[in-house]
Amino acid sequence: MGAQVKITAKQLSIGYQHSAGETIVASGLDCSLRGGEFVCLLGPNGAGKSTLIRTLAGMQKPLAGELRLSGKVMRDIAPRERARAVSVVLTEAMPSGMMDAYSLVSLGRHPYSGWFGGLTGQDRERIDWSIDAVGARPLANRQVSELSDGERQKISIARALAQEAKLMLLDEPTAFLDLPRRVELMSILRNLAHQENLALLLSTHDLDLALRFADRLWLMTPEGNLLEGAPEALALNGQFAEVFATENLDWDANSGSFLAHPVACLKVRLEGEGIERVWTQRALERLGFGISEDDGKAAFSLKVHKDVWEVERFGLIQNFENIESLIEWIRSVDWRE
């Protein structure tokens, strides 16, 4: 994995300039992105994720601080040179018209050929590589207007890859994809970062996938700060809870996810092993129950076997043949009694 720093920000302030002055979204940001690294940018809505990506791409001027790209001050880099160094995939709808996917990907060669320059053999080789890299070969001859959201996203990323830039910035590329396509895309991007020595930053709201795939996380706080570190480090030190947790949402470091909880939480004494126990506990937590080690504090006891769920309540035992019937029983009981 490469160690060269591709982009570095020091005491960066981001936001918007307007006639009344300026609006600062976040300030004092220190961060760097290295080649061969897949980083996910997380944070609540309004924290400034999109603004940060646009600023790092050179599409918005920093309000203060220093931004360097491969050692050069960003504002001193000519647009064509920047276009060869940085590729961007935003959430805005891509141009389509009467254009097929191959033609759209070929626009990524514009920094090298210009609008009216013909494609060379090297250009076509890069375009073909980019299409294959995201698994979009079956889409190459189809009209962009006929593609699904997931297919268009692949083509957008292929176009960015065709630029041959070593820094790639993506703003919410998985936002409109179903779960299998989100997993597929995250896997593709991580592999590209590692294999092609790309410095790749992706903003997302999908905490679970970011924890599973990212080499590092950048975590923007509502106060306008930027925390960074390995996913496991941020999970262990409680910083996820500080940024995202609310009075109705808790960060569970054991499961690596957030759990919704009611104001008052009943307890269940749970026994069992295997995947059945794992999903039974998830169901109980979703229904508002915590797990207790003390029989005396439990609303009921539950033993999970492979083909039966055994409930004991008030000294009476009741068996359920599947988890759905158990859930129906839990919902049918008035737990206020």
Tens of pLDDT, residue by residue over 57-84, are 988 899 999 999 988 998 888 888 888 8
pLDDT over 70 for what percent of the chain?
Answer: 88
pLDDT for 68:
92
Say which CATH topology domain 5-229 has.
Rossmann fold (3.40.50)
| 3-state DSSP assignment of residue 244 | helix
Nearest C-alpha neighbor of 210 from the set 231, 227, 194:
231
Q: What's the distance, Cα to Cα, between the start and end of the chain in Å?
A: 60
Non-local (6+) Cβ contacts of 182 within 8 A are 174, 206, 209
Architecture of domain 266-332: 3-Layer(aba) Sandwich (3.40)
pLDDT band per the 50, 70, 90 thresholds, residue 114: low
Q: Where are the CATH 3.40.50.300 domain residues in the chain?
A: 5-229
Report the pLDDT value the prediction gives residue 116, as an integer from 0 to 100.
Answer: 63
- What pLDDT, on the 0 to 100 scale, is given for residue 260? 63
pLDDT recorded at residue 175: 81
Q: Outline which parts of the chain fall under CATH 3.40.50.800.
A: 266-332
For residues 131-159, average pLDDT: 90
Show the tokens assigned to 159. 């176009």
User: Binning pLDDT at 50, 70 and 90, where does residue 2 land?
Assistant: very low
Output Rg (C-alpha) for the chain, integer angstroms: 25
Contact 174, 206 (CB under 8 A): yes
Looking up tokens 């158990």 gives: 326
Q: How confident is the model at residue 259 (pLDDT cuts 50, 70, 90)?
A: low
